[in-house]
Structure 1
Amino acid sequence: TGESDATVTNVIVASHYMNYGGYDNLKIASSTPYPAIGIKMGVCEGDSTLISILNKGMDAISQKEKSDIMNKWITVQYEHGVDMKKVSRIAIISASVVLFIFGSFYYWNRKLKKEVSRRKEAEDQLRNSFDEITEQKKIIEHKSEEVMDSIKYAKRLQEAILPPTSLIDEKIEKNFVLYLPKDIVAGDFYWMESTVCKESNNELNFIAAADCTGHGVPGAMVSVVCSNALNQAVLQHKLCEPGEILDKTTDLVVERFERSKEEVKDGMDIGMVSIEKISDTQSKIKFAGAHNNLWVISERDDIGATSNKYELESVSKSLFEIKANKQPVGKYEMRKPFVTTELLLEKGERLYLYSDGYADQFGGENGKKFKTKNFKNLILNSIDKDLNAQKEVLLTNFNDWKGSYEQLDDVCVIGIEI
């Protein structure tokens, strides 16, 4: 075919063909174990003269010059074949890299499997926990519904002890009751009962604003005990003096709570009045209170009873504050009989009973208590309004003052015009 992949020859011949024969694609790959062939010069046999001349000429050439001639005319570049040491080194490095890659892959694969397994286990635990939480949530929601149902039922029971507004309107023509429980049920309550005065044979209407210990369900339970005690004092024991009614109520409340194995000091603060109509223009008012005072609004300079007078320059009427006893209805070591204060009020004059929830409410720009002084100012500044309008003023002001703050306590305010 005229083609050859390789040949074995001496360096001189190979050099000639590579340098001068045009075979520039030849490359010397490696040496052979065959004997080296020296450089010779051939002459005709028997021509001794030429041989002598040539030998002398050759001898005259130095070794360096011979090397230069050889390098010039017989110069070849070895391009050895595969270097096994180098191949081995590359193979070892490559194998190490491959082993490292496979080792890393194996390591990370096992680690990933462990991580997947761990996460799956965690997900299973989380799923189990979620299922458990869901189940507990259902149980709690069910219990919460039961509690709420019980509280709502307690509300209906508490509403049953509150006098209906129709009864209050029937007995006291001009009045309002502002009642704002903090929770569904309340510790505050308002109370009313009617009887006949033994002395004058006139009808006596008792009305009170009470604030029992606590609020919510505990306060509501105390309110039931205290309300029943008030009813017993009036209906069973036939008492007509507010002070005597509170004394007897205290006895009944303490007696009721003493049945408990643990000491119970719960009770209530209260302001109570009895209203007896004497004529078309006058009514006899008797007041007794436990911590909660009575406010009377009148244009008179003196209402005929010991009181503290409070005035505003812009209002023609004054607020007279009749003090209550500084003791609760309930167990109290320094207990004294409740004082009954009697006074005659004229037609158009007003009286107010209240719990402390209104004045103690936090709110306003600085989150402070509304305070009793501001409560008095509000009453006086709205005194020219009819009672229903004044109730709306009190309600609107309370909500505006409270704003985003939580309601602190139950609120009960009663207004009556003679």
Structure 2
Amino acid sequence: MTDESFLADVFNLLDILVAERGDDASFQLLGTVPECLKPFFPQAVPGKRFRPEENSPFLENFLIDAEDCWTSENTEPLKSGAWAESDDQGNSCELEATAIFSGKRKLLLVEPARYSQKEKQFFIQKSRELSLAYHRLEQTEAELKKSKEAAEAANRKVMESIQYAKMIQRSLLPDPDRVKCYFPHSFFIWMPRDILGGDILFFDSFEDGIVGAVIDCTGHGVPGAFMTMIASSGLRRIIRDEGCRDPSEILRRLNFIVKTSLQQDTGYALSDDGMDAGIFSIQPAISDQKTEKQTTDAYSLTFAGARLPLIYIHNGEVCFIKGDRQSIGYKRSDLNFNFTNHKITIDKNMSFYIFTDGFTDQLGGERDRRFGSRRFRNLLKENARLPFEKQRDVLLQAFNAYQGENERQDDVTVAGFCFDELIFGKCVW
């Protein structure tokens, strides 16, 4: 079998009629006519020359262009595009022709159009629609990119502001080194849920005593941080400027300041915010003018709480002092409420703990439940004899292990201290 006959068979299998144009403008069939094309080219017989354009005006016009292509010996195929052809029985089919110049030979290929004109128009229309959609998508992506860049720039500015606000808020916290002057045995945990927090620690010292506070303000993040500013400035005004040292009276006055500052004592109030607090003061029970250093037997601790409790451990026993069921500053808070003082005579190796509910309310564990007050008390009791820095590590490890993969529920603040010795008047801040 010659290469030419092999190719003719291949073209036949592909439903392609192949003919070579001669010098007399007639064509010689190469191979056979595919069955699907025989009704449209009945004159095409092997070994006999024929004119395929007979009874086909479209093909006749195409061959004029094809002759120009062959004459110029253009090696690029020339396609006719699809046209409709009918046989003697009136059956219609869309055909497509291709003129090829190959090796000095002028070849004509005729085959059924792979897609109808209607289908091609549909494809063309869809292609245009896709092109338009792609162009719009590019425009949208460009706009989204600009929006993203603008949002990222705005976010950076906001985060820079929040980070700076964090530095300001931290500056309100007691200096740990100065606190150590009064509480050599102590620890403090302050962990905001977000960058900024709604919890605040406060300490102030005087010649004859110390006042400390742990406050849990409404919310967390930026709103909580605003409330801590009100709480901190209010405490300084009450304790320093007004000279108040009594915990219950401090809470009463702080309630007034917060409530009136936010105008929550009027019908105009737009907010309903406040805080829970635990206040304690330590003062000597006896006076000794000869020495600044005094024994623990000479001191007492007075505590008052607005919903926040105080825990103290003595001789292995855990004592829990509840705060009053009254918050500070809210619309419903009673301006005339008198908070309760609890006075405790300080004994050697007696440990005290004040905390917000962020620790006990944390969800976690196998059942995804609250850490709980009972578990927290037992944790303190089990580790009360450890050095306070070690106690802090134990609490943090227990909290993180219990939290696991859960999100932190709230700000976490815990203050713990004991009284082997107290020295007043050294560091006033």
The Cα shift of 1:241 comes to: 0.5
Tell me which of 264, 270, 280 is aligned to 1:273. Answer: 280
Tell me which of 287, 290, 293 is aligned to 2:303. Answer: 287
CA distance in 1, matches of 2:147, 2:188: 43
* Equivalent position of 2:367 in the other structure: 366
Percent identity of paired positions between Structure 1 and Structure 2? 28
TM-score when normalising by structure 2: 0.69
Q: For residue 363 of structure 2, what is the amino acid of its counterpart?
A: F
Distance 1:333 1:210, change over 3 A: closer
| Cα-Cα RMSD | 2.2
The unaligned stretches of length 5 or more in structure 1 are: 1-85, 197-201, 300-316
Distance 1:371 1:264, change over 3 A: same
The Cα shift of 1:249 comes to: 1.2
* Equivalent position of 1:347 in the other structure: 348
* Equivalent position of 2:184 in the other structure: 173
User: Counting strand residues as a fraction of each chain, which structure ranks higher?
Assistant: 2
Deviation string 1:156-208 (CA, Å, 9 cap, x unpaired) is 11111111111211222211001111000000111111224xxxxx2x11111
Deviation string 1:258-305 (CA, Å, 9 cap, x unpaired) is 189533321111111112245413221011110001111001xxxxxx
CA distance in 2, matches of 1:155, 1:333: 29
Highest CA radius of gyration, 1 or 2? 1
Higher mean C-alpha deviation, range 208-217 or range 187-196: 187-196
* Equivalent position of 2:210 in the other structure: 205
CA distance in 2, matches of 1:229, 1:360: 27
SS at match of 2:329: coil
Deviation string 1:321-363 (CA, Å, 9 cap, x unpaired) is 1121111121334451111211211121111000000000000
Is the contact made by 2:326 and 2:333 (CA closer than 8 Å) also made in structure 1? no
CA distance in 2, matches of 1:171, 1:329: 28
CA distance in 2, matches of 1:243, 1:195: 18
TM-score when normalising by structure 1: 0.70
Is the contact made by 2:327 and 2:333 (CA closer than 8 Å) also made in structure 1? no
CA distance in 2, matches of 1:262, 1:93: 93
CA distance in 2, matches of 1:361, 1:140: 33
Tell me which of 132, 154, 170 is aligned to 1:159. Answer: 170
CA distance in 2, matches of 1:325, 1:98: 94
Q: For residue 87 of structure 2, what is the amino acid of its counterpart?
A: A
User: Counting helix residues as a fraction of each chain, which structure ranks higher?
Assistant: 1
CA distance in 2, matches of 1:334, 1:212: 17
Deviation string 1:201-220 (CA, Å, 9 cap, x unpaired) is x2x11111110000111001
* Equivalent position of 1:218 in the other structure: 223
CA distance in 1, matches of 2:367, 2:270: 40
* Equivalent position of 1:241 in the other structure: 246
CA distance in 2, matches of 1:290, 1:208: 11
CA distance in 2, matches of 1:277, 1:148: 46
SS at match of 1:219: helix
Deviation string 1:32-54 (CA, Å, 9 cap, x unpaired) is xxxxxxxxxxxxxxxxxxxxxxx
Distance 1:95 1:323, change over 3 A: closer
**1:326 lines up with 2:343 in the alignment:** no
CA distance in 2, matches of 1:346, 1:385: 17
Is the contact made by 2:173 and 2:202 (CA closer than 8 Å) also made in structure 1? yes
Moved over 6 A (4+): none
Is the contact made by 1:284 and 1:345 (CA closer than 8 Å) also made in structure 2? yes
SS at match of 1:159: helix
